[in-house]
Each structure stands twice: as C-alpha cells, then as structure tokens.
Amino acid sequence: TSVKSRFAKSLINCHKGNSTEDILYHLDLGTKTHNLPAMFGDIKFVCVGGSPNRMRAFAQFMHRELGLAGDGEDVADICAGSDRYAMYRAGPVLSISHGMGIPSISIMLHELIKLLHHAKCRDVTIIRIGTSGGLGIKAGSVVITDTAVDSSFQPRFEQVVLGDVVVRSTELDKDLAEELLACSREIPDFPTLIGHTMCTYDFYEGQGRLDGALCSFSSEKKLEYLRRAYDAGVRNIEMESTAFAALCGLCGLKAAVVCVTLLDRLEGDQIRASHEVLWEYQQRPQRLIAALIRKRLGLG
Ligand code: R2B
Ligand code: URA
C-alpha cells in the first residue's frame, strides 16, 4: 500500500492542490489568513512535547541558549486563537505542545506537517521531548528511542483507515539518535541511554498499572509483562512515540524521541517525586536538545 504525503518526495497531498485555501483548524492558522512562509520558512528544528507550559519554558530556554536579543520571557503563543495546542518560536526553533496520547499528537502532527509544507521549510529535524515511565533504569535517566514499539513490543503503528487496520513502520532516524547520544556525553549530570520505547493507548491498564480505577490483573502478571518488555529491549513507556515515528517517517522528516523517566516501573506505579524534582527531570531532554541545536548551529 502506498501513502502519499504533502511532505514526502512527492511533496504534495494527492487531493489538495496548492491553489485552494488550507485551514489548520486546531492551530488556528491558515494559508489565506497567515503568511506561513514569512512566519515559518526559516524553521530548522521542531520540538514537540505534551504540556503547553513545558513547551513555553522550552522556547524561553532556547531563546537564552541561542543568545537571542531580549530575555525571551514574553514569548507569544502563535496558536493563541486555539486552546487545543500552544506554539512558540525561538530563532529557528519551533516549540509546540501535543497533549496526551496518540489521537491528540496525530491531529497536531497532520497540521504541523502541512504548515511546514506551506511554509516551504527545508531540512527540518523534529524531536519529541517528553516524560515516560522507565523500565529497569534509574528515575531521571533520559532515553533516546532507537525503535518505538507497540504494547506487543512490535515496531509498528496500527491505524484504522476506512474501517481497515493499516500497519505502518515506526522507524526513527538512526544517525540522529547517535548524534544525540554523542551530545549526551557532554552532559554528565544525568544518565542517557538508547533503547526501545513502548507506546501505549493508556496510562493505567495499558501500561500495566495497578493504581488505576480498575483492578483487572495481579501484580505477578504485571511484573511478568514489564519484565518481558524489558527483555524485548524496552527501556521506557509513553503514549505518543509510535504515531509520531510513523507520521514523521511517511512524510520524510528526520525524527527523534527523547524522554526522561519519572520512575522505574519495576519498582512501582505511582509518581512520588516532588514537583521540584519532576520539573528538573523535565529539563533534562531540553538540555540535551539544546546541546544538539547549538552544535548544529556552530554555537559550540
Ligand atoms: C507521557 O506522559 C503523559 C502521561 O502522563 C503522556 O503524554 C506521555 O506520553
Ligand atoms: N508518562 C507515561 O506515559 N508513563 C509514565 O509512567 C510516566 C509518564
């Protein structure tokens, strides 16, 4: 089966020509209402993450890291007209929130990829910076995903299209993952590793938690599943990576997933760290991505 995208080699969605208006509804942007090439044509790095506040903090952080004029504290939300997603920019870096879970990130990515196409962006690197539950690794470790796998540990993303299940590959850019790992060696404050990331449709039962509203399996079954995941190479669990990898891959975008782990799931289900500790953890992927961007831009 072949899929055409606006951003892949053909660069054009098979149904929508360039002449008609395109409304990016959930971003509150459009080709008639906004000059997308002027607003975004020079974007080279797109960073996406679940929370609007975190993505705002990331844009402010990148503003400082890139040595841009002003303190960057008053960054404006480019999607202020929509309360679904938040978008900020700092120089050539775009920072966008995607909410929680595959449906939410999918909607954002469709519109973001069309935005990059309309804006005529070239050589864009896209990175998801997120949180996750770790497997057999110290809380606070950062995992760079080599392969995003589903809850059966397979490198695939299943999407229902016109009532049929279509299976898409979840391959990520190997060179980018290695480049990120090389950058991590210059940040000794926390452990960074490469591993498989398991993507689930739920935070509770879907991730083998026993602290949700339902109680449908034993703690022995839970640990058996998590150990099987570990043995299959899974080092962290989150809720967007397979859809992100599949969509970016089909559209020819070089993509990476970098998530900090908030706990070790072999040790428990509840996230008990303090807000201060969790906030510092969430800065770790940001620091790694800042190092990559600075290096790419020749800023040392
Ligand atoms: C990680 O954290 C969120 C759930 O707490 C979800 O968006 C994810 O992938
Ligand atoms: N995000 C997840 O999806 N799972 C966790 O355990 C922690 C954060």
Does residue 133 line the site of ligand 2, with CB under 6 A? yes
Interface pTM (ipTM) of the complex? 0.99
**pLDDT tens across 49-100, in order?**
999 999 999 999 999 999 999 999 999 999 999 999 999 999 999 999 999 9
Q: Which ligand is nearest to the CA of 267?
A: 2
**pLDDT tens across 89-144, in order?**
999 999 999 999 999 999 999 999 999 999 999 999 999 999 999 999 999 999 99
If you measure from the C-alpha of residue 294 to the centroid of ligand 1, how many angstroms do you get, rounded to a whole number? 27
For residues 3-20, give the mean pLDDT: 58
163 vs 178: CA distance, rounded Å: 38
Does residue 203 line the site of ligand 2, with CB under 6 A? yes
pTM surpassing 0.80? yes
In degrees rounded to 5, what are phi and psi of residue 281? -55, -45
176 vs 61: CA distance, rounded Å: 22
- pLDDT at residue 7 greater than cutoff 80: no
Query: Which of 53, 55, 104, 132, when mutated, tests ligand 1's pocket best, judged by the most ligand atoms within 8 Å of its CB?
Result: 132
If you measure from the C-alpha of residue 270 to the centroid of ligand 2, how many angstroms do you get, rounded to a whole number? 10
Does residue 131 line the site of ligand 2, with CB under 6 A? yes
pLDDT at 20: 85
Residue 10's pLDDT band (cuts 50, 70, 90): very low
Q: Helix, strand, coil shares of the chain as percentages rounded to 5?
A: 35, 25, 45
Contact 249, 255 (CB under 8 A): yes
73 vs 56: CA distance, rounded Å: 9
pLDDT at 12: 46
- pLDDT at residue 18 greater than cutoff 70: no
Contact 159, 300 (CB under 8 A): no
Closest residue CA from atom 8 of ligand 2? 132
Residue 216, amino acid: S
